[in-house]
Structure formats: C-alpha cells, structure tokens
Structure 1
Amino acid sequence: MVKVTVWNENRHEQKNPKVREVYPEGIHGAIAQFLQAAGMDVQTATLDEPEHGLTDEVLNNTDVLVWWGHIAHSEVQDEIVEKVQQRVLDGMGLIVLHSGHFSKIFKKLMGTSCDLKWREANEKERIWVVDPSHPIAEGLGESIELEREEMYGEHFDIPVPDQLVFVSWFEGGEVFRSGCTYSRGNGRIFYFRPGHETYPTYHNKEIQQVIINAVNWAKPVDRKRPVYGNAKPLEAIASK
C-alpha cells in the first residue's frame, strides 16, 4: 500500500469563508479523502504543526508527498526544505500542485525562478492530454474541462520537463504546460497546475484521477541509491 502524506499550508481555509465553504475539511482533507478511497495509506500535515508536520518519522514513512501552498511559502523553514529535498533524492515521490510552483522545495529542485503569468477571471480551462501513453493520463479522455479556474500562462520558468503530459488552454487565450514530470536523484516529481483555492477543482473526478495516477507513478522504485565517492577497481589494473 502506498504511503502518502498530503501537505497543505492551511492558511486560506482559516482566513477566507469562501474557501472553507468549498473545502470544509481543508484542501488537504479533500485530497486525502479521495486518495484514501483509492486504497492508499494517507496522512496529512500542515504548516502550523511542529516542524510543519514533516518530522523525520513522518518523512521516513512517506512514499509520496503531495504539496499545496500559496501565501506562506516564505514561512516554510529552510531545514525542513533540506530534509524534503534529501528524501526526494533518496527516492520519495513529490507531487506539487497549483501555486506550489513557487514553493521553496519546488524552486530548489528545479533551480529556476518557477515564475509565470496569472489572472483570476473565472475563466474556462481545458487541460489537453498531450501524452496519452503516459501512466498519469490513464483513464482520461482527450481533455479535462474546468468551468472556472485561475489562469496560469507562459512563459513558465521551469527546466524543460522530462515528459510533458498536459497542456492547458484558457478562455482568455493563454496556454500553459500544466502537467510536467521530472526525476531528481532516485525520486520522481510531478507538477500539476489546476487547484485554485476558491474553486471546487479537487472535487472533480478527472482531476482526482490525475492525482491518484500521479501518486502511483511517483511511488519509489525498489532500488538502492548509487554509491558515490572514491571507488576500488572492480577488476585488477595492470601495472604500467
């Protein structure tokens, strides 16, 4: 059984009644619920818990970490970011959602600003599947249509993805690379764009399917991490 930790800064839910109306159990609670229904072992963690809920015990018992943040990126402690990065390099999967593109951990793993254009205008988003053979696209049709979402537009300042699974089109005309995979060390990373806090995006069954697929794709592969440093020869070296 895949062990998943859903991390959410959980600030909008405390400040904005509209967000509480859409996600009464928090964004983390909504995501945890459908992952549990998919047969996963799920726990949640939030920003204001000790060590942001990401203690060594929690991280060491996490196969895949799902991350949602927005207004409090700067409050995440650097030492926690370092621990999460190391766990990813060691093989833990990381799913970064929506405004998590600006999180410390995503920027650290990408090595770029991860900046973009944005607009809140209640506009339609159509998420096109551009790699239908990818496991993250399993069970989906040609596209996912969201009646209302926040716009993210290019240029998205990220490294070229290992694989591009989804591209979004917005009613206002912009497009965006909205489903991107990466590998870092032994770990797999997936960035998935939709999920503005005031819209019921995470209640959409197709969006849920993408995240379920992504968790299954990102779970650790059973292999040892390579050994680095000075190495003894595997075979005898003839004297010169």
Structure 2
Amino acid sequence: MVKITIGEQSFELKTIKVTLWNEYIAERKNPEVAAVYPNGIHKALADGLKPYGFQIQTATFDQPEHGLTENVLNDTDVLIWWGHEVHEEVEDAVVERVYERVLNGMGLIVLHSGHFSKIFKKLMGTTCALNWRESGDQEILWVVNPAHPITADIGPYINLPEEEMYGEFFDIPEPDELVFIGWFDGGEVFRSGCTFYRRLGKIFYFQPGHETHPTYYHKEILQVIANAVKWAASPHGAAPTFGELKPLINRKKDTL
C-alpha cells in the first residue's frame, strides 16, 4: 500500500504487482540484440517502469514452469509479455494457467512479437498473423483515442526514429478500443495499440519493441506501458457465475 495525503485526508492506494515475462534468448545469443539490451528486455523494462511505483518481478522462458508458477501468477495484478523465438515451446499447461488468471481479472499487456504467442492467440481466437519488414523504418504512433487513460501524458503522436514495420492486415478480432495507429515511412499503417476485454480481464496489445531497436528506453513508450498497467489493474465487477439459475423473484402463479 502507498499512503497519500490530500489536504487533511489520507488515502491508501494499492501497489500494483507487475510480472515482466521475457524469453531472454535473443539477448544472450545475438550480439546485435545484446548491444541494445545487455541485461535483457525484461531488465530494461523493469528499470524503466520502476519510477512509477509498481512492485515488479521478472520471469523468463528457461525457468521452471517458465517462471509463471501458480504462486507467481496469483501474486500478479498485471502480466507483461514479450516473446519472439520460442512461442510454440511455451508449455500448454502454463498457457492455460495464464489464460484462467486473465479471465478471472489479471491484466495482460502483450508487446510487439508477442502477437504470435500462444496466450494471445488463445485469447483472440484468431491467427494474429500480420505483415512485417525488418528495415528500421521510422514509425509515427498516432493517438486515435485521446480520452483513453492509456494515452495520459502523451501528445498527439509518438515519433520512433526506427522500428520493425508491422502492417495490415492484422488478423485479430475487432478491438474493443483502438488507441494507437502506427504509420511507417514505407507507407504502411497498423493497429498498434488495441484493448480487449475477456470476462474480468483487460488486455492491451502494443506493437513497438523490436529487439534490435532501443524502443524500451523511449520515455513516451514507457509512459504508455505504465498507463496500460494502471488501466489493466483497475477495478472490475463481481465474478460471474455459471450454470442453472433459480428465479430472483418468486411469484405465485395465478390460478383459476
């Protein structure tokens, strides 16, 4: 809990518990990636998000159960997912565990090539395929929903000098909310920031973050991710029940 005081009133705010999941493979075998993220993408994100006051832990692919044990997930308000090379090697049991936690209220933020992760495809119910090009294009991320809390403290756009191009068609369901559209200097556009609701869980997909570009050191990109964490961890309604339902109102039947 974090205690804040406004005037003569004091309030306690819950500290948001964030788990950062990263394959942590490319950084250890590709010198080009290691030069950008010498301690891993998860460490760069953890350092960048630290000033926002979250309680942060990290997990990686090669840990037992990929670091996503029941205890870890039960102690997680928002899970951030970055993956690229070993999507199909993530254990189905772990995917199912994450899936159930999302349905029951854990927030999920899927970054960049995590669009092809088992968990994102399972939650979307589509292939999540797209077009791409590794050419270091300039990208302008346009805010198309300035009323959305994920855009707090962000201007009308974010300018990234270099990024991997992701282009339409992006095979996802119609987003519940479209927050960002990316434009690349090759002429392509992409639905770069999308939200989805699955039962009690809130999901945000955010496209920037190729491993050979320093995207996760960019102040505004970190601001968006921090905003998304706060949004995904925000309160939700009561858990729904399923099965046979007795009448809420008992009425005597009219008789002749």
Of the structure 1 ranges 73-82 and 222-231, higher mean CA displacement relative to structure 2 is found in 222-231
Measure the CA separation in 1 of the matches of 2:236 and 2:205: 23
The Cα shift of 1:223 comes to 3.6
Q: Secondary structure at the match of 2:154?
A: coil
Alignment partner, residue 3 of structure 2: none
The Cα shift of 1:28 comes to 0.5
The Cα shift of 1:222 comes to 5.0
2:105 aligned residue (91, 102, 114): 91
The Cα shift of 1:226 comes to 0.9
1:25 aligned residue (13, 25, 39): 39
Measure the CA separation in 1 of the matches of 2:237 and 2:146: 27
The Cα shift of 1:236 comes to 1.1
RMSD (Å) for aligned C-alpha atoms = 1.0
The Cα shift of 1:25 comes to 1.6
Q: Secondary structure at the match of 2:155?
A: coil
Alignment partner, residue 196 of structure 1: 210
Could you tell me the TM-score, scaled by structure 1's length?
0.98
Q: How does 1:174-213 map to 2 (within 5 A)?
A: 174-213=188-227
Alignment partner, residue 128 of structure 2: 114
Contact 1:38–1:212, Cα closer than 8 Å, also in 2: yes
Q: Secondary structure at the match of 2:46?
A: helix
Q: Deviations over 1:114-154 (max 9, x none)?
A: 00000011110010001111000010111101111100000
Contact 1:97–1:193, Cα closer than 8 Å, also in 2: yes
Corresponding position: 1:148 with 2:162: yes
Measure the CA separation in 1 of the matches of 2:58 and 2:84: 17
Q: How does 1:17-166 map to 2 (within 5 A)?
A: 17-166=31-180
Q: Where in structure 1 are there 5+ consecutive unaligned residues?
A: none
Corresponding position: 1:7 with 2:25: no
Matched AA of 2:29: K
Measure the CA separation in 1 of the matches of 2:142 and 2:186: 16
Matched AA of 1:224: A
Contact 1:178–1:192, Cα closer than 8 Å, also in 2: yes
Contact 1:91–1:220, Cα closer than 8 Å, also in 2: no
Q: Secondary structure at the match of 1:226?
A: coil
Measure the CA separation in 2 of the matches of 1:101 and 1:112: 11
Q: Which runs of 4+ in 1 moved over 3 A?
A: none
Q: Where in structure 2 are there 5+ consecutive unaligned residues?
A: 1-14
Contact 1:6–1:67, Cα closer than 8 Å, also in 2: yes
Contact 2:200–2:236, Cα closer than 8 Å, also in 1: no
- The structure with the largest alpha-carbon Rg is 2
Matched AA of 2:90: V
Measure the CA separation in 2 of the matches of 1:92 and 1:6: 13
The Cα shift of 1:238 comes to 2.7
Measure the CA separation in 2 of the matches of 1:223 and 1:144: 33
Q: How does 1:220-231 map to 2 (within 5 A)?
A: 220-231=234-245
The Cα shift of 1:220 comes to 4.6
Measure the CA separation in 2 of the matches of 1:155 and 1:111: 16
- The percentage of aligned residue pairs carrying the same residue is 62
